[in-house]
Structures are given as C-alpha cells and as structure tokens.
A and B are shown apart, each in its own frame.
Chain A
Amino acid sequence: MSEKAKKVAHVESRMVVSTRDKLVGGTIRYIVIALAVIFALFPVVFIVSSAFNPAGTLSTQSLIPRGVENFEELFTNFRALMVDELETYPFWNWILNSFVVASITTVLVVLITAMSAYSFSRFRFYGRRTMLLGILLIQVFPNLLAMVALFLILNDIGRLADTIPEALPFLSFIDWSWIKRFSLDSIGGLILVYMGGAMGINTWLMKGFFDSIPREIDESATVDGATHWQTFWQLIFPLVRPILAVVGVLSFVGTFNEFVLARLVLRDTDSWTLMVGLFNFINSDFNRDWGKFAAGALISGLPVVALYLALQDQIVGGLTQGAVKG
C-alpha cells in the first residue's frame, strides 16, 4: 500500500469507526487515565498513610503503614495533635483562627463589594469610567507585591496603641490596646490585608452579575416607592444570591488556604492560622513531626476537597470567568 492509500484508508476507517479501533483507542485512553490518576493521587495516598502511621517520622513512611498492632495505634498522630501536645502546638486555636479569618473576610468582602458593584451597575455618575479602569489597573498590583508596605503600615498602626495615650493623656482612660488587634501579629490586621486585596477583582466580578439583572426590576420598584436601599436588599440581592454563594465559597477557601501574607502578619504561635501552623510544624524538623503534620493536613484538607468536589460544576463556570486561583 502506498503512503497515500494508507492515509485514505485511515480517514475512511475513522469515519466508520471499527470495533478493533475502538478497542485499541479505548485501551490507550484507559492507560493514559490510569497513569494520570496515579500521578494525581500518589501524594494524597501518601498523606493518608502518613497520618495513620504510628511511626511519625518521615524516614519510616511507606505507602502502607507497617507494624500496626491494634486499631487505636492508627490514631497516634491525631491524638498527639488534638489532645496531647496542645501546649506546644495549639492546633484548635489554629483551626479557630482560620475559620474566623476566612468567615469574617468572606462576609465583609461580599457585602462591601456587592454594594460598590450595585452602585457601579445602577448609577451613572461623573468619574465612574475612570474608577472602573482604576480598579482594573489596581488589580495588576497584587497585594503580594506590596507586602513590604503592608508590613510597615500594620506595624505603624500598632504603635498607635502606645502613642495615643502618650500624646493625648486625657484620653488614656480608654484602653487603647484594642488597636493592637488590627496591627501586626493579629487576626484583625490579617483580615484588613485580605479585604484590601479582594476589593478590586470582586467589585468587577459582581458588577458583571448585577449588570445581567434587568433594570426594569429596579424601575418598577422605584415606581412603587422603594428606596435604592430597599431595592438593593429586597430585590436585587436575593436575585444574585446563588452567584454570591459561589463567590463566597471560593473566597472562603482561598482565604482559608492563604499562607504567604498570613505568615508575614502573624508571628505569635497562638495567632497562627492553620496553614501557617502546619508549615511551622515541619519547618523546624522535617523528619520528626511528619506524622502529625500529615494528620493535620488531612483534617484541614478533607473539608476543602469535599467542598470543591461537591461544587465542581459551579467552580468550572467560575473558572472560565477568571474568578478563581490558577
């Protein structure tokens, strides 16, 4: 058979797919899939096995835990992490901190940006275009780049707790140390930093959602005597709620997983979030605490993975709009 004839035959065979081709193609595909699944799941299996391996060091890990005598031994690492060694590693504090930071940030960001986006979507005012373009530009400067400046700002804010009672003695009856809750080494300071970084992209995103809701709805409400505030809360907000929920979940997970800025701001063991805590766990000695790290990783990773898998269709929808990490 000549080259050309071969090609023709091939094309024909593709058009009327034969059973043999199906079988070969299918097998190749399944092999590729199997390799990919092994690649994807190998580290996951490794964490799970490390978490349940009573020998908690890195050097003794294998994919199947060895030498397990009884059922209780499987939970050696979990017990150490959640009960026995709370003095050194306040694990529950970290979990609480992570949840507090992620929830407060998410709720405030969604509310504040929804209000801004409503304004951009419904009102026409002088400077609107400039501000929208400004938001796009600001996004180019991620708050990771500004970390030096953010660090210094939080540091300066914290100094107010001492300078205000010094400079204004008649106000020293107020306990100004609350300002330290918004400076370095505080959860409040971290929330501020996260909120600042989330304003740009989320306002832009939400404006898109609001734009998709017909303005006739507002107008009819206005005719009925509703204020803008009432229209926003009682009409528009419920309509975008499903989308806001997805944005909220993604923002929650993103904040929950954030590490770089959290490590920059939080220095004290008790104020760490889960990710900073897990990092410091093994940073000092990679070998010794491996089992406990794996147990902590499993506890914090499972809910996030479950959330992603449950919402994967919505997340894919959000991805194509460039709304999430990646």
Chain B
Amino acid sequence: MSAAGSASSPPSGGAGLPSDPFNLLFTILRYAGLMLLNALGLVIIYGFISDDNLSLAIVFAVITVGANIITFVPALYPLRWMTPGLMLVTLLVIYPIIITVVTSTTNYNNFHLFTKAQAVRLLERQRYVPEGAATYAYQIFQNEAGEFALWLSREGEGGALEVAFAPAGAPIVAVANPPAEPPETYEGYRLLAGADRTAALTAAGQTVFGIGDDTAQISSRREAARPLVQRYVYDPATDRLTDNQTGTVYVADNKTGFFTRENSAETLSPGFRVSIGLDNFSRLVSDPGLRGPLVDIFVWTVVFAFLSVVTTFAVGLAMALVLNDPIVRGRKIIRSLLIIPYAMPGVISILVWRGMLDQNLGIITRTIADTFGVQLQWFSDPALAKVAIIIVNLWLGYPYMMLVTSGALQAIPSDVYEAAAVDGANPSQRFWQITMPLLLVTVGPLLIASFVYNFNNYMMIELLTRGDPPIPGSPTPAGYTDILISYTYSLAFGSNQGADYGYASAITIVIFILVAIVTLMQYRFTRSWEEVSENV
C-alpha cells in the first residue's frame, strides 16, 4: 500500500512499512483475488461469446480489464476503494440502461427472442426422419439422473437380432450378442415398463438419442428411426436456409426478423432480433390502437401522482399542526400510533386494504351495503377504483408527510408569528401567508420526490387493482387504473399477447425522460447541483 499511498494527495510520510506483516498478507490476498477474478472472468467471457451473447461478453471484459487497470496503475489508487462498487454499477446499472436504450430500437418480443446466430443454431439443431431410414422396435430406459436411453432392436441380415443402445446425448453403441429380451438394467439405466413407460413416452418422444450424425428418435408408438438427418442448413454467403426435407428455401428477412419462404408469407419459428430504428417510438404516437390507452394512462399517471401528493400532504400537515400544539396531551403516543401505517410492510398493507374493499366479501363493502344498501363495486367501476387507490395511498403516505412537516414546522421561528399577531393577522392569514410559504421552502423538494415516487408506484397499482378494470377494445393489455410503469410491466411480461420487450423499453425511456425532467427541477429547487460543485 505504500507505493499506492504516494499517489494520493494526503502526505504519506512514513505510511505503510513494507515489512508490515499485515500489509504483506493483504497484498498477497489482493493479487490472489485478482488472479481468481481474471480466471473466472475469462471463462465467463468465453462462455458468453460461445453463446453468441457479445454484449454481455463485452461488459464482463470491461469489468475484468478495469479491475486489473485499477489494481496496477498507482495513480488510480482512489478507485481501488470503489472497485466492487464500480463492478456492480457497470453490470447492474449502466449496462441495463444501455440495454434498455438498444432494446427499444429492436423488435425484441416473443417471436424474436434470439439473436440471428442463436436462431440459426436452434433451427440447425432440428432433425427429421428421412425416407428409407431404418426402423427399430424400442424399449425406454432411464437412469438415476432422469436421462433417457433407447434399446433399439430389429431383425438384421440373415434373421439375426441386431441391437443398439442409444443414450440421449451420447454415442449409439451396438450391443454384441444381444439377449432376446431387453435386460432389467443396462449400464446404469433401468428398463421402464407398464405405467412408467407410458408416463415417460411424451418426454422421451421429444428427446434426440445419440450424437452427431448418428441419432435416433421415436417416430411412433412402436417404432423408432435411425439415423436422423439435419433438417435446415444455413448458408451464410447467401443468407438462406434450406429445408432438406422439402427442399424449400427460406430467405433471411433482416427487416422483419424472420426466415421467410420466397414469394410467400410463410415464416420459420423462431424469428430473430433485428434493429427497427425508432419504430417503437413512432408506434407510440402513430398507432391509434396504442395511442388511445397510452394517453388515458399518461393522464391518470399524472393525476394519481399529483392527488397522492396533495392528499397525503394535506392530511399529514393537518396532523402535524394538531400534534405540534402543546395543549394536546400524550403526543408521543399518538404520533407512534399514527406512523404505524408507514412502518407496516407495504405489500401487506395494500393486500389488507384489497381484502377489506373486496366487492363481495370485504368488510368495508359489506358494512356499507348493510348500512346504506349500496354494494360498492370498488374494482369494476373505473371511478371507484381510482378513489380506492387514492384512499389507500393516503393511508400509506400521510405519516411520512406528517413526520417531515412536523420537523419543518418546528423550525419556523415563533417570533415571526408574534410579529404577525401584532400586525393583526388572523389565523388563516397567518397560516397561508407565513406558515405555508416557509413550509414549502423546506418540504418542497420532498413533495417533488414524492411525486416522482408515486409516478412510478408500481407496487400500489399492481397489488390493489392490477390496473383493472380493463379498458375495452385496447389492442394491448391496459386498464383504467394502469399507470405508465404497470402498463410497461404487463407489456413486457404480460401473458395474453406475449411479451414485447422492444415496445416496453421504448415506454421505459419515455418514463425515464419525464422523471429526469421532474428530478432536474427538484435539483434546481434544492440547489443540489450547486452543492455538488461546492464540495468538489
């Protein structure tokens, strides 16, 4: 560490004697750790390259090389302290941002899950049973690990029994001097019979036995065929895929991300990812089906975030004013009781509210129905669902506002009020013209932060209403209470119409820009940027 110490600014006098045994141990540990990291890094990078995943290979290369540079360049000593943090941030913060931006310009969805190389490899793995392939009778074997094997038998030339044993993913070997009936166990595999055999038939039917050119597959209930032939062959020069079984030629369409049959709409599955430029973004504004729900969702997102801030702030401030009054007794206990909603885990609180508001069984709904004779449809009426969300969010959020405004109120000097009273200001004037302006200066940034938080308050929507009730006729899964982030989530992981990562990423970037603008306003407000500059 002594050499490194001289690179940093503080005077390094006699820092770190080289003979210090603790230091020596530390140095050894550091280099051993680095060696391990390098070895692992190389393996991982190679693994990603052979999986045709170039981008993650590059990220791990950057991380590994970066760690080495930081360790060996003395001038980078300060960065050594940050090495683990930098590695994490590179992989899990910076790279996801880049990936999101890149994905937003691709057609990455359920039909285009793979890169072109991965798709070609998957297609080239497909096999078919050619005409004239030898057919065998078969028995299914299984080993401890659950892997299957086939016992293939047929009548060979001259009527002699010819038997081969074909494990999945391993070479097929001929069995010399075969017994007439398959044995109970063979090379660690156990013969499946009766119900076991029936149960295994589906899985075994999808398994390719053998390896390389010599493979076998179950072709019917009684027969298995061998050898199988590779079905598709890719020619990189012409960018075409030929079907050996039918002779059809498929051309790679690098605009739509499919192998398409010439003069036909027929495509092969899986497709592959291609760049489609800014199409996802232009679809946001041009596709009327998408634009419709998106505008509604955006408006509701803003309204929801705004109302959440206003209601929680109003109630929180009211409670803070009441509790700051010295004539109220037991303030400490009351405050403790009132912050319980804030302390409860959010998942639990929201789910409990959903149970209480349940439109058939919930205790609140039942009580209202018994008292007023109205069965409130909390989750199927759009307006009521929105009211429910605001009420529950108020319950969750007001203690926070109460705590921060309470602190801010105490910070307002009392002589300001005395002066106002002398000038004849009435209580409402004092509140609106003294308390509020002074309060807003302190808690203003927190209000903006709260707005941003609620803008992306996915958990609230997902747990309470899941975005329901659904907007009828929307081409994408969308609901009246969906906010942008929950809409994005169902686009990316939704089940009905399949995942559309590209489009979801485009919306994510729009959200990011909106949030960044609001946050920038907040920093202006708090002069955080100036603070940064001063501290540097």
> Is B65 engaged at the interface, CB distance under 8 Å to the other chain?
no
- Chain A residues within an 8 Å CB radius of B117: none
Known pairs A26-B328, A160-B48, A319-B403; A279 contacts B347 (CB<8 A): yes
- Chain B residues within an 8 Å CB radius of A152: 99, 501
- Chain A residues within an 8 Å CB radius of B406: 316
Among residues 3 to 30 in chain A, which have CB atoms less than 8 Å away from a CB atom of chain B?
Answer: 7-8, 10-11, 14-15, 22, 25-26, 29-30
> Is B100 engaged at the interface, CB distance under 8 Å to the other chain?
yes
Known pairs A43-B356, A58-B361, A225-B15; A171 contacts B10 (CB<8 A): no
- Chain A residues within an 8 Å CB radius of B10: 122-123, 218-219, 222
The CA-CA distance from A146 to B99 in the complex, in Å, is 9
- Chain B residues within an 8 Å CB radius of A222: 10-13, 15
Known pairs A116-B85, A222-B12, A304-B343; A133 contacts B532 (CB<8 A): yes
Which of B133-141, B226-234, B293-301, B446-454 is the contact stretch? B446-454
> Is A36 engaged at the interface, CB distance under 8 Å to the other chain?
yes
- Chain B residues within an 8 Å CB radius of A141: 93, 97, 512, 516
In the complex, the answer to whether B9 meets A124 with C-beta atoms within 8 Å is yes
Select B89's contact among A138, A159, A256, beta carbons within 8 Å.
A138
In the complex, the answer to whether A257 meets B81 with C-beta atoms within 8 Å is no
Known pairs A29-B322, A145-B512, A227-B15; A123 contacts B8 (CB<8 A): yes
A-B contact count (CB 8 A): 328
In the complex, the answer to whether B403 meets A316 with C-beta atoms within 8 Å is yes
The CA-CA distance from A142 to B456 in the complex, in Å, is 9
In the complex, the answer to whether B456 meets A163 with C-beta atoms within 8 Å is no
- Chain B residues within an 8 Å CB radius of A301: 344-345, 348
In the complex, the answer to whether A112 meets B85 with C-beta atoms within 8 Å is yes
In the complex, the answer to whether B8 meets A146 with C-beta atoms within 8 Å is no
The CA-CA distance from A257 to B44 in the complex, in Å, is 33
- Chain B residues within an 8 Å CB radius of A320: 404, 407-408, 446
In the complex, the answer to whether B456 meets A319 with C-beta atoms within 8 Å is no
Size category of the A interface is 35 or more
Among residues 280 to 305 in chain B, which have CB atoms less than 8 Å away from a CB atom of chain A?
Answer: none
- Chain B residues within an 8 Å CB radius of A43: 341, 349, 352-353, 356, 395
18 A–B contacts from the bound complex (CB under 8 Å)? A26-B327, A36-B319, A37-B337, A40-B340, A43-B353, A115-B84, A146-B96, A148-B488, A148-B501, A149-B95, A151-B492, A196-B92, A226-B15, A257-B345, A301-B344, A319-B407, A320-B408, A326-B400
Instruction: Point out residues on B near A: beta carbons under 8 Å.
Output: 1-2, 5, 8-17, 23, 26, 43-44, 46-48, 50-51, 53, 56, 76-82, 84-85, 88-89, 91-97, 99-100, 103, 315, 318-319, 322-323, 325, 327-328, 334-349, 351-356, 358, 360-363, 395, 397, 399-400, 403-404, 406-408, 421, 424, 426-427, 445-446, 449-450, 453, 456, 458-459, 462-463, 485, 488-489, 492-493, 501, 504-505, 508, 511-512, 515-516, 519, 523, 528, 532-533, 535-536
Q: Which 4 A-B residue pairs are closest in the complex by CB-CB distance?
A: A196-B92, A308-B343, A167-B50, A149-B96
Additional pairs, 20, CB under 8 Å, beyond known A47-B352, A286-B354, A286-B361: A15-B421, A22-B327, A26-B327, A43-B356, A58-B362, A113-B85, A122-B10, A149-B103, A153-B95, A153-B96, A164-B43, A195-B92, A197-B93, A200-B93, A225-B14, A257-B345, A259-B463, A278-B348, A282-B355, A297-B348
